[in-house]
Structure 1
């Protein structure tokens, strides 16, 4: 189950409603609607950009990849607004903060969020999601390509959010510390691309609420 299917089950209203609420352009709404023909005729450049993202789409069609991508943005913005409502100084950081489908060569490798505390210090947060219960069952989390190395280099926080019909959990990895990982040269779920495997024990997973995440950030001395 991908982001589009998982988040369609998680949210109470259609994803298109949230996209409109967050001010997404018409192309993104058309993508969420799954209307490939309309996208090609009315937003050809966006469709062509989706075609150029084959490295990231794995076995998904261009419109399926686009639906997962835009659905992920919806959740990122939902989380952002929820955190800001709690008084946390958090903003989008990545190149896709404009919520525009970019050509493959311009796909962002930066973190999703930046948090500033009361003293002006900045911390970067990367968000990853699981909609299948895989993390809970296997106690393993996989990061594609060089994401693990990027997190290490920037000493980011990795916020792992697992959302299924029955369970909503999260774990936080602090890459200011040493986070062990196993390198996988060819990972089948990622189209046989490289990946890094992290351990995510059930004890690391907490109930996914904004209050719990805020408390975790306080414990990590981020805010």
Structure 2
């Protein structure tokens, strides 16, 4: 699979979970990959090693997505190292949940900074370097469409904002040949929401297929949207949720 041969991709929050799966899949498709991470340098290094073992170039950049200047610097470093940028995957996010009275101003600020402002800032920085065929892909959440438990209002609000950003940027960047799309995972087996967790059976039961997704299943859809076959898909919200919202 070399659909992305010669392309360079940047994946925010690419050291674990869905982000790591996306970084590895894009490398399998032929892309060189830059990934950001916040604190776990070891996990980021392991993803880089796996990408390089697959024969692609890779770079891990430490960047707190809550800091706009750090994201912009990560984009600039990616271009400086590899000479171009073709694909941006806005994956980094925070999951702060709780009742209204328990969520303080710092929780709200952190959630909006990472889940809303960061994708906008990264997209703005990235598209400066993109030409025809550029791809901006963000990772949303199924709870923006169906919040099945109390305490999800802040997180759901932040992920809902990505729908508007995706549609607005798709309209703006379409004339430049750049597509913008949103992938919406359902319950996915990651460190933060393991398929063997205490509430996993109940959560899986909300899906039509009765199970969690593997991160690689989310990454497969991202890879399709990043490739040339998806040139006519833009402004779309693509659920990969096992029927969670049906």
The alignment's TM-score, normalised by the length of structure 2, stands at 0.29
The alignment's TM-score, normalised by the length of structure 1, stands at 0.31
More strand, by proportion: 1
